[in-house]
Amino acid sequence: MRGGAGTGLHEGPYERDPYARGSRDPAPYGDGTRQPLRARWDPTAPDTQRASRRPTRNVRKQTRLGRFVSTYGWRAYAIPVLAVVTMLVVADAVRGQPDVVAGPDAGITQEAEPALDPGTPPAADGDFAASLPSGVLPDGGPFTERGAGTWRVVPGTTERIGQGTEREFTYTVEIEDGVDTSGFGGDDSVARMVDQTLANPKSWIGDERFAFSRVDTGEPDFRVSLTSHLTVRDTCGYAIPLETSCYDPDISRVVLNEARWVRGAVAFQGDIGSYRQYLVNHEIGHAIGYAAHQPCETQDGLAPIMMQQSFGTANDAIADLDPGGVVPRDGLVCRFNPWPYPRA
């Protein structure tokens, strides 16, 4: 039978021995009668007195079954019925028990049904398809085609973060009117990402010269603005026909492309949260004075934060987009990196 912990063996019914010691009923004599013991001087002598008083009768000897029935009465019928019922209940309980997989020290070797084998899982080589241009916007969630061209300030401020031995920058977080942020946590979620990114020691406060604080009134040093991708083209230009973000010094606005915020970049093979951190750090890097872009400098090293990682982490990929730019065609390929000071 299948068993589990605590499963016992049920003993079946048995016939009661009418001759056993301790029986409440006196044991029957061989002639089927029940008679009391009588004291006599000579127990071995025939009892002539009793014999003379008893008439001689021809009585058919009672069978063993008859004696059993006469001894136990209704119980003689109940015991076999209970035995059958007990066996049926035990058999049903055994059939209803689940399969048990035995551990190394268990006495049960019953195996459960094997799980479905889907085959070998797909291999991941860490690279996207070579035929897919690195700067193309990947598939993903929806984004706003065009907003109103005006921005709303997200309420909230922060304390000063960083040492700021040379400069403290103030900033606001703003969302273009018409951009629906509910699909990625709302306006406050965007603001938290900006605040927490700048507060990380691996961000720009890794340089003791800089400090930052968020404000929601007055004229900040720069405005971090989540913006629809067609408004981005109006502000940042579209000389490179790809989804970009930028810093516009004429209006002191860090323009973050909502399409990139939602979908990330093919070349940046980290998660979407890391890509958003890169986007914040890269564009704020322009806002605090780092105007030039950088190439990959070490094969398989971390990409510099001012490398255009939305377009590629390989120098050749960026050189294809801007042949006369600062990035040489030298075959070097870096790994994605969202931080100015990743080892801080």
Q: Is the pLDDT confidence value at 51 over 50?
A: no
Residue 124 pLDDT: 54
Question: By percentage, how much of the chain surpasses pLDDT 90?
Answer: 55
Q: Is the pLDDT confidence value at 25 over 60?
A: no
- Give pLDDT tens digits for 283-297: 999 999 999 999 999
Residue 94 pLDDT: 53
Average pLDDT value for residue range 36-41? 38
Q: Is the pLDDT confidence value at 43 over 80?
A: no
Q: For residues 149 and 251, give the distance between their C-alpha atoms in angstroms, rounded to a whole number.
A: 13
Cα angle 106-111-116, degrees, rounded to a multiple of 5: 140
Q: Are 225 and 174 contacting, i.e. CB atoms less than 8 angstroms apart?
A: yes
Crossing angle for the helix pair 75-96 and 64-72, to the nearest 10 degrees: 90
Q: Where does the pLDDT of residue 4 fall: very low under 50, low under 70, confident under 90, or very high at 90 and above? A: very low
- Give pLDDT tens digits for 155-186: 999 999 999 999 999 999 999 999 999 999 99
Helix (H, G, I), strand (E, B) or coil at 335: strand
Average pLDDT value for residue range 40-61? 47
Crossing angle for the helix pair 272-287 and 187-199, to the nearest 10 degrees: 70
Q: Are 179 and 185 contacting, i.e. CB atoms less than 8 angstroms apart?
A: no
Residue 66 pLDDT: 63
Residue 78 pLDDT: 63
Residue 152 pLDDT: 98
Single pTM value for the model: 0.65
Here the tokens at position 223 are 């405005």
Q: For residues 306 and 339, give the distance between their C-alpha atoms in angstroms, rounded to a whole number.
A: 10
- Give pLDDT tens digits for 201-211: 999 999 999 99
Q: Where does the pLDDT of residue 145 fall: very low under 50, low under 70, confident under 90, or very high at 90 and above? A: very high
Q: Where does the pLDDT of residue 10 fall: very low under 50, low under 70, confident under 90, or very high at 90 and above? A: very low
Q: Where does the pLDDT of residue 269 fall: very low under 50, low under 70, confident under 90, or very high at 90 and above? A: confident
Average pLDDT value for residue range 249-271? 95
- Give pLDDT tens digits for 109-144: 455 555 666 766 766 555 555 556 788 899 999 999
Among the listed ranges 47-61, 115-129, 145-159, which one has the minimum average pLDDT value? 47-61
- CA distance readout (Å), 304 to 111, 292, 293, 318: 55, 12, 9, 14
Q: How would you label 266-280 residue by residue, b for 16+ Cβ within 10 Å and e otherwise?
A: bbbbbebebbbbbbb
Mean of the per-residue pLDDT values for the chain?
A: 79
